[in-house]
């Protein structure tokens, strides 16, 4: 009988099976591999989510960011010289293991005491990510998803048609469609002038590690082309209920201001669109443990943002 797939993959990076342990099982399955050179992360990717070309592009981008000093995981090549290895249709890669602890679950800033100071530093980090990415010429064949107009408010959004969620009642569905249509009209006039390029696209607290004063970004699974204000909105959306949300928002934008000053109305628009995407995201996961609570939370958040947007308010 052949070895389990993760162990067969580990051999392609010369990782000792005796020192491999399960570290996380979310969208991907992540194993920790301890070696004399330090720990590494062996990732087993969920089937069908990314093509080989898309995954290789993600790793090429991460390697470039790491080479230019950004605090992100560094991809490691296998003994065959590849970033990605596929075994019986399952994709694997290996990344450097980053120190620190997760910032927090479900938007909580548990790993920091100076919340505004952290937000300012995160804004500066995202500005650097965008600057480094803009100065890079991606290799031929580079393929990543696009959080563009079509990906956010088109007929087939990147994370699915949020207005078709089966748990929406008729008024909620109509509200989300109204928000989508209003956003379409606004973007038709301004999208061409907005800051657009490669973004992490998932800078939520679960994907941020903190180690003293160092901030690390992990999980570039959904990174790709997109509006830079969408990047900022992804972090801010889960802070909206915090008592110090106005201060956190201001600090994030002050940190990002080394790149550019963000227009409040465009950031508010991206907050609405970020909230809508999660309603679409959860549709394909309704059968998973905890999905009911996740779905209810996503719908309630989208309704909150959409009502303010349709009625002319701001976040």
Looking at per-residue pLDDT, the higher value among 145 and 106 belongs to 145
pLDDT at 29: 95
Residue among 145, 167, 143, 164 at smallest CA distance from 155: 164
Of 195-204, 211-220, 283-292, where does mean pLDDT reach its minimum?
283-292
pLDDT at 186: 96
Interhelix angle 264-283/291-310, nearest 10 degrees:
150
Instruction: Supply the pTM of this predicted model.
Output: 0.95
- pLDDT tens track for 114-167: 999 999 999 999 999 999 999 999 999 999 999 999 999 999 999 999 999 999
- Distances from the Cα of 298 to the Cα of 164, 208, 291, 302, angstroms: 13, 21, 10, 6
Whether the CA torsion 144, 288, 273, 176 is positive or negative: it is positive
Q: Is the pLDDT of residue 203 over 80?
A: yes
**CATH 3.90.1200.10 domain extents, the chain:** 102-310
Decide yes or no: CATH 3.40.50.2000 for domain 5-97.
no
Q: Domain 102-310: which topology?
A: Aminoglycoside 3'-phosphotransferase; Chain: A, domain 2 (3.90.1200)
pLDDT at 1: 35
pLDDT at 297: 94
Instruction: Give the span between the Cα atoms of 94 and 223, in whole angstroms.
Output: 18
- pLDDT tens track for 236-268: 999 999 999 999 999 999 999 999 999 999 999
Q: Is the pLDDT of residue 313 over 70?
A: no
Residue 230: enclosing H or E segment and its boundaries?
helix 228-237
**CATH 3.30.200.20 domain extents, the chain:** 5-97
Name the β-bridge partners of 25. 29
Average pLDDT in the chain: 95
Report yes or no: 239 and 112 within 8 Å, Cβ to Cβ. Answer: no
Q: What is the mean pLDDT of residues 78-90?
A: 96
- Distances from the Cα of 223 to the Cα of 38, 141, 234, angstroms: 27, 16, 12
**Strand blocks (E) in 5-150:** 20-25, 29-35, 38-44, 75-76, 85-87, 90-96, 101-102, 146-147
Report yes or no: 250 and 243 within 8 Å, Cβ to Cβ. Answer: no
Q: Is the pLDDT of residue 315 over 80?
A: no
Instruction: Give the span between the Cα atoms of 26 and 281, in whole angstroms.
Output: 14
pLDDT at 27: 83
pLDDT at 296: 95
Q: What is the mean pLDDT of residues 281-302?
A: 92
């Amino acid at each position: 009988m052949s070895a389990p797939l993760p162990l067969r993959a580990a051999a392609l990076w010369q990782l000792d099976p005796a020192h491999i342990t399960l570290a996380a099982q979310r969208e991907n399955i992540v194993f920790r591999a301890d070696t004399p050179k330090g720990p590494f992360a062996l990732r087993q990717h969920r089937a069908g989510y990314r093509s080989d070309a898309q995954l290789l592009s993600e790793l090429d981008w991460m390697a470039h960011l790491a080479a230019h000093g950004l605090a992100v995981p560094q991809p490691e090549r296998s003994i065959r010289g590849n970033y990605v290895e596929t075994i019986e249709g399952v994709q694997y890669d290996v990344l450097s293991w980053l120190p620190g602890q997760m910032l927090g679950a479900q938007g909580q800033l548990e790993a920091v005491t100076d919340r505004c100071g952290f937000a300012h530093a995160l804004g500066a980090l995202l500005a650097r990510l965008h600057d480094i990415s803009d100065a890079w010429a991606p290799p031929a064949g580079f393929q990543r998803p696009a959080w563009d107009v079509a990906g956010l408010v088109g007929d087939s959004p990147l994370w699915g048609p949020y207005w078709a969620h089966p748990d929406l009642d008729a008024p909620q569905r109509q509200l989300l469609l109204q928000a989508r249509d209003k956003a379409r009209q606004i973007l038709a006039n301004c999208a061409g002038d907005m800051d657009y390029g490669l973004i992490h696209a998932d800078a939520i607290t679960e994907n941020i590690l903190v180690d003293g004063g160092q901030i690390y970004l992990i999980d570039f699974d959904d990174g790709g082309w997109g509006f830079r204000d969408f990047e900022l909105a992804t972090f801010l959306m889960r802070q909206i209920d915090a008592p110090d949300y106005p201060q956190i928002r201001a600090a994030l934008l002050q940190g990002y201001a080394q790149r550019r000053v963000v227009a409040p109305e465009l950031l508010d628009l991206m907050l609405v669109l970020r909230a809508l995407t999660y309603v679409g995201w959860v549709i394909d996961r309704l059968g998973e443990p905890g999905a009911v609570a996740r779905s209810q939370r996503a719908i309630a958040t989208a309704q909150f943002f959409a009502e303010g947007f349709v009625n002319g308010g701001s976040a």
